[in-house]
Amino acid sequence: MTWERIEIQTPGRESFVDITRKVAALVAASGIREGTVTLHCPHTTAGLTVNENADPDVRHDILLALDRLVPLLREFRHVEGNSDAHVKASLVGSHLVLPVEAGSLALGTWQGVYFCEFDGPRSRKVLAKVSP
């Protein structure tokens, strides 16, 4: 099975984009009944996470907490001026491995899969592979 691409257009400098349906569609199309789906973010200022998707305030609160943990500081040396985005991406992580059960993405009741943008808006991608 080859790596598939999930294309994402992020709406702002920092945002969480719910990609759960896109990931679930890839799982369903794969025909694999039991296994895993591996997701990789090939960007240094973005990441992936699983978290609550019932209340959008959770996404807001996570971004707020990350901004307080890693503010944009004048002391950063990186010329592009996005060092905070690199640090946040490192904290969140760049890949996920999620279970596939009975041909479906196996998440908890309140969970969703998020692309985490820290230096947008941009056109981004996630690489995905469903494996038995």
Mean pLDDT of 71-91: 88
Predicted local distance difference test score (pLDDT) of residue 1: 67
* Residue range 61-70: mean pLDDT, rounded: 97
The mean pLDDT value of the chain amounts to: 96
Q: Please, what are the domains in the chain?
A: 4-131 (2.60.120.460)
| pLDDT, tens digit (0-9, with 9 covering 90-100), for 40-57 | 999 999 999 999 999 999
Comparing 94 with 2, the larger pLDDT belongs to 94
Which of 27, 93, 91 has the alpha carbon at shortest distance from 65? 91
Digit-coded pLDDT (tens) for 1-17: 689 999 999 999 999 99
pLDDT digits (tens, 9 = 90+) for 28-43: 999 999 999 999 999 9
CB 88 within 8 A of CB 66: yes
Question: Which residue, chain included where needed, has tokens 């009975």?
Answer: 102
Q: Which two tokens stand for residue 77?
A: 């040396």
User: pLDDT band for position 59 (50/70/90)?
Assistant: very high
- What digits encode the pLDDT tens for the residues 123-132? 999 999 999 9
Structure tokens at 12: 């702002």
